[in-house]
Amino acid sequence: MAAPSRARPAGAATLKMAAAAVRGHRAWRDRKFLPRRFRFRRVDPGPAARPPAMLPLVMMLLVPPVLPGTVEVTRPRGVSLSNLHFYEPSGPFTCLDGSATISFSWVNDDYCDCRDGSDEPGTAACPNGHFHCTNAGYRPHSIPSAHVNDGICDCCDGTDEYDSGTNCENTCRERGRREREQQQRLAQVAQEGFALREQLVREAAAARKDKEERLGGLQEARGGLEQRVGTLRAAKEAAEGPEREAREEQRRRGEAEQRAAAEAARADEAFAELDSDGDGQVTVAELRLRPELDTDGDGAVSEDEAQALMGDTTPLDAAAFRDRLWATLRERYRPQGQTEPPPPPPEPPLEENPPEEEEDEDEAEEEEEEEEESEGPEEELKVPPPQPPEEKGGAEELPPLDAAAQALVDAAQRARQELEEAERALKETEESIRALEQELAFDFGPEGEFSYLYNQCYELGTSEYIYRLCPFKRVSQKPKHGGAETNLGTWGAWAGPEHDRFSTMKYEHGTGCWQGPNRATTVKLSCGTETAVTATTEPSRCEYLMELVTPAACRAPPPAHDDHDEL
């Protein structure tokens, strides 16, 4: 207020002075910028007018507050009620920082005399001063002096623009109403959210207890399992000795049989060849056709020689040939068309496969390590169960085991299986322990209220991307229209200010940016009745900002809402 046209009867004497002072300053103001209400009051038009120095310097602009229903108090413009007692018109004014004492007429005279700006609470004269808006109907507010009369309405009651020609509407009531509604909404959310939070806290405590118990149980079980694995390993080793022997015996036997069969096949071949007339019998005459069978070195096979080779029986059928004559002939016999002795049968290929079992174990360990690194139980990269050792390399060719040997092998197989199962159980237990320990070690807030976010993921779609936040794990971004997912950071730490550490999460070391840093995401948490990612932006290149509402971030609402304004 205090524009002359808005002058109210209250404090009329002082207002007269104020009006005069304002007119003094207004006198040279451009008509264009002058609001209509001033135009009628212009006394001295043009630059030749008397300067304001000629006018009373007293510029104590007293403001009658416009709060209906309250006692009217006059005070210098821009002074808060709490500071009113410093501004006593009857005496000199001492700057609030004590830097100077000046005549009270220099208070609010649009010239800065105090270092702290306290002599000009109602003008823009001091660079470091403050103007107090009463903002009846809303909240009182203090603005920098530089915002006074700068053409921008900063106070909702418009009192900051009393001399700029800017017509500010009083929006305090509307704002107050909106704020109260908003506060009510927020209060309701806060209340509901806080109730949910309490529940979360209870659940977290219960879950923690449960997990701790489970951990205890698992740790106990681990002891038993370790023992069992030890025992079973010894048993397995014990059972594998006899099994190895039985297998060795089996292999030896198999080899002998294989050799015999091969010999028989050669004999049959030889028989077929020697039986040159194809009558199914080998005769002396037929033997004589084979010079390589010469025994006395004369280069030919005599009948005697042939007979001697044949022995008593003649002719010989295939079976008899195989059984009786082949042993005698085999060294000398050459298959038709072949002068050199036949190449020895190719050696069976060397066993190149390393022991299967060990390999499996190695793989399993590696995968285990990977899993630890990724810390991602949600990435169900379960270790495939170790394959039972496969009997490789011509098992079917081996002769069947006899019952006793089979029993030994079966026993070893059982021992192995039992060990594997026990080891798997141990590993699983250890994993569970690790996961539990990790989870229990996490800082889920002072009361564990954030623990429910663990193992959850929340998504938000924008026009281009789907953003995914898996709290305490990672943040990622996936283009909506195809393309690879980008890691926007993995869990780093709580990163709020000291007094409010759990208001912000930091995710770091995401995918690197071209010529830039690795991507990182800051997640701001706020109170809500649901859990959701509500906004995501990239305020700086490769630095993302996400907003997560969660009941866990709700505070205890104040006992009763105090809706009382100053004044």
Partner 1 sequence: MAPGRRRPLLLLLWAALCVGPGLAVDRSNFKTCEQSGFCRRQRAIPPGRSPYRALLDSLQLLPDAARIQLLNEATKVPLMLELRGLRGNITRIRITELNPPRPRFEVPDVLMDEIPAEPLEVLGRDGDTLELSLGPGGPHRLLVTGSPFRMDLLRGRRLLCSVNARGLLVFEHQRQRPHSLMDIGGWVGRAWDKISALFHRDPPQDAPQDPPSENGATNEDGATGGADEKPPDNEEEPGAWEETFKTHTDSKPYGPMSVGLDFSLPGFEHVYGIPEHAESLRLRSTQGGDPYRLYNLDVFQYELHTPMALYGSVPLLWAHGPPGTLGIFWLNAAETWVDIGSNTAGKGGGETPQTDVRWMSENGVLDVFLLLGPAPHDVARQYGTLTGTQALPPLFSLGYHQSRWNYRDEEDVLAVERGFDRAAVPLDVLWLDIEHAHGKRYFTWDPTHFPHPRDMLRRLADKKRKMVSIVDPHIKVDPDYRVHNELRARGFYVKTKDGSDYEGWCWPGSTAYPDFTNPEMREWWASMFAYDQYEGSTETLFTWNDMNEPSVFSGPEVTMHKDARHRGGWEHRDLHNLYGLYVQMATAEGQIRRSGGRQRPFVLSRAFFAGSQRYGAVWTGDNAAEWGHLRISIPMCLSFALAALSFCGADVGGFFQNPDTELLVRWYQAGAFQPFFRAHAHLDTVRREPWLFGEEVAGLIRHAVRRRYALLPFWYTAFYRSHRHALPVMRPLWMEFPEDTATFAMDDQYMLDRALLVHPVTEQGARGVHVYLPGKDEVWYDVDSHQQHVAPQTLYVPVTLSSVPVFQRGGTVVPRQERPRRSTECMRGDPYTLHVALSPQGTAEGDLFLDDGESFAYDTERRFLHRRFSFANGTLTASSADPQGSFPSSSWLERVVILGAPKPSSVLLRPPGGPETPLHFQLEGPTLTLRKPGVPIGADWEIVLR
Interface ranges with partner 1 (CB under 8 A): 25-33, 46-54, 109-111, 113, 124-125, 127, 144-147, 150-152, 164, 463, 513-517, 537-541, 543
Q: 271 or 467, CB closer to partner 1?
A: 467
Q: How far apart are CA 521 and CA 42, in angstroms?
A: 60
Strand segments (E) across 306-423: 316-317
In whole angstroms, the minimum distance from the beta carbon of 146 to partner 1 comes to 5
In whole angstroms, the minimum distance from the beta carbon of 158 to partner 1 comes to 14
Q: 109 or 305, CB closer to partner 1?
A: 109
Q: 159 or 283, CB closer to partner 1?
A: 159
Q: How far apart are CA 62 and CA 26, in angstroms?
A: 18
Q: 195 or 513, CB closer to partner 1?
A: 513
In whole angstroms, the minimum distance from the beta carbon of 124 to partner 1 comes to 5
In whole angstroms, the minimum distance from the beta carbon of 15 to partner 1 comes to 21
User: Which tokens is 298 given?
Assistant: 């004369």
Q: 145 or 487, CB closer to partner 1?
A: 145
Q: 109 or 360, CB closer to partner 1?
A: 109
In whole angstroms, the minimum distance from the beta carbon of 127 to partner 1 comes to 5
Q: Answer yes or no: are the C-beta atoms of 500 and 490 closer than 8 Å.
A: no
Question: Torsion angle, CA of 234/239/242/245, rounded to 10 degrees?
Answer: -90
Q: At what angle do helices 403-441 and 356-374 cross, to 10 degrees?
A: 10
Q: How far apart are CA 466 and CA 459, in angstroms?
A: 7
In whole angstroms, the minimum distance from the beta carbon of 108 to partner 1 comes to 13
Q: How far apart are CA 295 and CA 311, in angstroms?
A: 14
In whole angstroms, the minimum distance from the beta carbon of 32 to partner 1 comes to 8
User: Residue 161 class from Cβ within 10 Å (0-12 exposed, 13-18 middle, 19+ buried)?
Assistant: buried
348-381 in b/e form (b: 16+ CB < 10 A) is: eeeeeeeeeeeebeeebeeeeeebeeebebeeee
Q: 113 or 275, CB closer to partner 1?
A: 113
Give 30's contacts (C-beta < 8 A, 6+ positions apart): none
